[in-house]
A and B are shown apart, each in its own frame.
Chain A
C-alpha cells in the first residue's frame, strides 16, 4: 500500500453540496490518487454518489443543487465558470448502476462520443477507436462479429462493459463508477472487477459500491461516508482489517442500525 508515494489526481477541499435547503455533503476533504482505485462505501443516502457526481459536475444538471468548495483535477479547479463541462466529462467518464446503452448499434454506442468530440477524421480512424475501446473493455472478442446489432441486445454484463467501452472511447483520465455491478450476476461482476484491475494501470478510478467484498477486492483506498460526512479514509487493507473509527467498524461489520 504505497499510498504516500502516489500522486494525487483529484483533490476535494471543503466541499459542501445542497439540494435546495437540504445539505447532502458536509465539508468533504478527500484526495484521490492517480491510477489507483478508490472505493467509496456507506449506507444509502450517505452522499457517496453525490460526491462522485461532483467530480464531473453531473450535479450541474439538477436545478436545486448547489455546490460549494473546491474540486481540483491535476491542480486545476473544475468548478470555475470558464471550465467547459463537455471537455470535463470527456476527461472524467462515468458508468452507472444500471447499464444504459444508447438505443443504437454496438458500434454507434462507442462512436457517439468520438463523433461529438471530433476525434476521428475518417471511417478507418473511427473503426480503430471502436475496436480499441471494446478491447480495453474486454468486450471485443464477444461482439466483433455483431457490431451492427443493437447495444441493448447484449447481456447485462456485456452492456455494462459496453458502457465502460463508451466511456473509454473519448480517452478519459478518470472513470467514475456508481455501483457498476449491482445489477450483474457473479460471473459478469467478476469480469468487471477483472477489467477494473486492468484499467487502473491507465486510469484513475473511483467506485461507489455497497459490496464490502468488492471494495476489498478492487480498491487500494477506501472512504467511508455517513450522513454526508466523510468518517474515515485510509488504505483499503487498513479499513477492512482494523479501521480507526468505531462507526466505520460498526458499518463494515454489520452492526449498524
Chain B
C-alpha cells in the first residue's frame, strides 16, 4: 500500500508474514473448494476424507493469524493503512476459515449421494460451483493486487451466485416432486447448494473487507440480491 517500508524492520517483517499467511490460507481454501466441488460433481467418495483432513490446516492458519494480529495490535498499535490491513486481515481470515468449513461440509455430503447422480441435477450445481470458485480466485487476486475495482465487481457479482443458487434449488425441488423416493438425495443436494451459496456470501465479505483496506471507507448500499425462489 505504501511505497516505503517501516523504519522498524521487525514491524515490516511481522506485516509481511501476516500477508504471507493470509495468501497461503487463501490458496488452501481455493484448493479445498475446488476439491469439494469436484468430489460432488464426480461423486468421488474416496476424496472426502482428505478434504475433511485438510480443513484442519486452514483452521490452524487462522489461529496463527489471530495470534499474529494480537501481537501486532499490542506491540505496534498500528495506525492508518497498517490498522486497516490488520483489521481486514483478521476479518478475511475468518471468512476464509468459514469458506473452508463450508467446503468440508459440501464434501461430507458426497458420501451419502448415489454414484449415478442424474445429469439434470448437476448442470446448475456445476455452474454455481464454478462461479463461486471464480469469485474466490478473483477475490484472492484482488487482495494481492489491492484492486478496488475488482473488489466492487466481486461484490456485485454475488447477485449471480444467488440467482444460480435459486436455479439449482429449483431443479432439485422439481426432481424431488417427480418421485418422493428422491427425498434423501435431494435433501443432501439442497444442503450442498446452500453451502456453496453461503461460501459466496463470505467471498462478498472478503470483497468488502478488501475495499475497506484500500479505501478506508465501507462499501455503501445494500448488497445486491438475486431473485427469490419462485414456488
Chain A interface (Cβ < 8 Å from any Cβ of B): 212-213, 216, 239-243, 246, 248-250, 252-257
Give the contact stretch, choosing among B80-88, B149-157, B170-178: B80-88
Residues of A within 8 A of B5 (CB): 255
Q: CB distance A243 to B80 under 8 Å?
A: yes
Of B76, B83, B84, B215, most A-chain CB atoms within 10 Å:
B83
Q: CB distance A241 to B2 under 8 Å?
A: no
A212-B77, A212-B79 as given contacts; A253 in contact with B2, CB under 8 Å: yes
In the complex, residue of chain A having the shortest beta-carbon distance to the beta carbon of B1: A249
Residues of A within 8 A of B11 (CB): 254
A-B pairs with beta carbons under 8 Å apart, 10 shown: A212-B79, A243-B80, A246-B2, A250-B2, A252-B79, A253-B6, A254-B7, A255-B2, A255-B6, A257-B7
Encode contact with A along B70-94: 1 for CB under 8 Å, 0 otherwise: 0000001111111110000000000
Residues of B within 8 A of A256 (CB): 7
Residues of A within 8 A of B84 (CB): 241-242
Q: CB distance B80 to A241 under 8 Å?
A: yes
In the complex, residue of chain B having the shortest beta-carbon distance to the beta carbon of A215: B79
Q: CB distance A253 to B80 under 8 Å?
A: yes
Residues of B within 8 A of A240 (CB): 79-80, 83
Q: CB distance A254 to B6 under 8 Å?
A: yes
In the complex, residue of chain B having the shortest beta-carbon distance to the beta carbon of A216: B79
Q: CB distance A242 to B217 under 8 Å?
A: yes
Residues of A within 8 A of B77 (CB): 212-213
Instruction: Write the nearest CB–CB distance from A161 to chain B, whole angstroms.
Output: 26
Of A239, A241, A253, A254, most B-chain CB atoms within 10 Å:
A253
For residue B8, CB closer than 8 A to chain A, the reply is yes
Chain B interface (Cβ < 8 Å from any Cβ of A): 2-8, 11, 76-84, 215-217
In the complex, residue of chain B having the shortest beta-carbon distance to the beta carbon of A252: B79
CA of A213 to CA of B75 in the docked complex: distance in angstroms?
12
Q: CB distance A250 to B217 under 8 Å?
A: no
Residues of B within 8 A of A239 (CB): 80
Instruction: Write the nearest CB–CB distance from A216 to chain B, whole angstroms.
Output: 8
In the complex, residue of chain B having the shortest beta-carbon distance to the beta carbon of A240: B79
CA of A248 to CA of B216 in the docked complex: distance in angstroms?
15
CA of A257 to CA of B215 in the docked complex: distance in angstroms?
25
CA of A212 to CA of B82 in the docked complex: distance in angstroms?
14
Q: CB distance A242 to B79 under 8 Å?
A: no
Q: CB distance B2 to A242 under 8 Å?
A: no
In the complex, residue of chain A having the shortest beta-carbon distance to the beta carbon of B3: A246
CA of A226 to CA of B182 in the docked complex: distance in angstroms?
73
Residues of A within 8 A of B2 (CB): 246, 249-250, 253, 255
In the complex, residue of chain A having the shortest beta-carbon distance to the beta carbon of B217: A242
CA of A156 to CA of B79 in the docked complex: distance in angstroms?
30
Q: CB distance B6 to A242 under 8 Å?
A: no
In the complex, residue of chain A having the shortest beta-carbon distance to the beta carbon of B8: A254
Residues of A within 8 A of B8 (CB): 254
Residues of A within 8 A of B76 (CB): 254
CA of A98 to CA of B118 in the docked complex: distance in angstroms?
82
CA of A142 to CA of B65 in the docked complex: distance in angstroms?
46
CA of A3 to CA of B158 in the docked complex: distance in angstroms?
37
CA of A249 to CA of B5 in the docked complex: distance in angstroms?
12
| A252 partner, pick from B7, B80, B215, B216, beta carbons under 8 A | B80
Instruction: Write the nearest CB–CB distance from A176 to chain B, whole angstroms.
Output: 25
In the complex, residue of chain B having the shortest beta-carbon distance to the beta carbon of A249: B80
Q: CB distance B216 to A253 under 8 Å?
A: no
